[in-house]
Structure 1
Amino acid sequence: MFIHKIDDDISLKLIELRDGQRVYELTNHSRDYLKEWLPWLDATTKLEDTNEFIKFCLKGFAESNSLTTVILFKGEIVGIAGYNSINWSNKTAYIGYWLGEEYQGNGIVTKVVKALTGYAFNDLNLNKVEIRAAVENKKSRSIPERLNFTNEGCIRQAEWLYDHYVDHVIYGVLAEEWS
């Protein structure tokens, strides 16, 4: 099992089926908040939907195509983070994350993304880490900006978000730039 301790309060743990109830409850509790920027909330309406997501994540991990972890803060699951996909040919990982509304503002995601980026370079020997965020999603964009990722440009109408398209900013950092 994958467990990565970040500091005394924050760890990442490979998502498991036994996490389903807590992840579903966290999703449900933060549904309106998360729905502003995440397109999958309407498809996650019951525990079985979350469990299917977890099975999909575990399959991706078994095939070395992704790594989805729960974020543990003081021992409690507070969000999800990981590599949505890993492109081994190009040695690139694509980081995604979300955090329950009540846990925002504690620097958790910044520490998590920093740890995932370091792990990608130091342990997986990857060359690049990318993060995509909607142009108007200032909170999400502040994470790669704070960690000195390079703004590599904008993809127009990159994602359908319920009733409209949103543009995405792509951030990247290379192994040689990471310290």
Structure 2
Amino acid sequence: MFYHHIREDLALKLVAVQDVEETFQLVDRNRAYLKEWLPWVDYSKTAEDTKSFVLANLKNYAEQKSLTTYIVYKNQIAGIASFNTIDWNNKSVSIGYWIGQEFQGNGIVSDAVIALTNHALHDLGLNRVEIRAAVQNEKSRAVAERLGFTQEGIVRETEWLYDHYVDHVIYSMLRRDWKALQA
């Protein structure tokens, strides 16, 4: 079981079936807010849909393909932070994240991304961490930029978001650069 204490009021813990209802309620309360940038919101209509998501991610974790965690803030599930895919051959990982609107402004996502980046580059021995965000998603992009990730470029029309394509900005952090920033 993965559990990472970040600070007194913040931790990451592996998704779990017992937290499905709380997670679904968070998504349901934030449906309009999340839908602006996340294409899966309309497919998460019931707690059973959330349970399917959790079970699929637990299977992927057991197979070392990904790591999906709840962001736990003040003993509440505030969102999700994950290694969407782990590429062991190339020692690379892609991080994704979201939080409920009511949890913004507390440094939660930045601290979660720092924790996952440390885990990837130090504990797992990976070399590269990538973050992708829609070009217009300023809040998500700000996390990568604030943490010193390098903007590498734009992937055009890479995601279908309900009724239109969006371009993504790709950011990366290499182990050697992370070590230099942490020094």
What interval of TM-score do these two structures reach, taking the shorter chain for normalisation?
A: over 0.9
Map of 1:167 onto structure 2: 167
The residue type equivalent to 1:118 in the other structure is: N
Alpha-carbon distance between aligned partners in 2 of 1:120 and 1:43, rounded to the nearest angstrom: 29
Question: Structure 2 stretches of 5 or more lacking a match?
Answer: none
Return the alpha-carbon distance in structure 1 between the equivalents of residues 146 and 94 of structure 2. 17
Show the counterpart of 1:100. 100
Segments of structure 1 that go 5 or more residues without pairing to the other structure are none
How many angstroms apart in 2 are the aligned matches of 1:174 and 1:17? 34
**Alpha-carbon distance in 1 for matches of 2:136, 2:98:** 16
CA–CA distance in 2 between the matches of 1:170 and 1:61? 24
**Cα RMSD (Å):** 0.5
Partner AA of 2:118 in structure 1: G
Q: Percent identity?
A: 55
Structure 2 equivalent of residue 113 of structure 1: 113
Give 1:105 deviation, angstroms: 1.1
Give 1:33's aligned residue. Answer: 33
Amino acid at match of 1:159: E
Q: Read off the aligned partner of 2:81 and give its amino acid letter.
A: A
Residues 1:139 and 2:148 aligned together: no
Dislocated runs of 4+, deviation >2 Å = none
Q: Deviations over 1:19-71 (max 9, x none)?
A: 10011000000000000000001111011100000011001100000000000
Residue type of the alignment partner of 1:145: E
Determine helix, strand or coil for the equivalent of 2:141: helix
- The separation in 2 between residues aligned to 1:8 and 1:106, in whole angstroms, is 13
For the residues of structure 1 that align with 2:105 and 2:149, how far apart are their CA atoms? 20
**Number of residue equivalences:** 179
1: CA distance between counterparts of 2:170 and 2:97?
15
The residue number in structure 1 matching 2:3 is 3
The normalised TM-score by structure 1 is 0.99
Q: 5 Å matches for 1:10-25?
A: 10-25=10-25
TM-score, normalised with respect to structure 2: 0.97
Q: Which residue is 2:58 aligned to?
A: 58
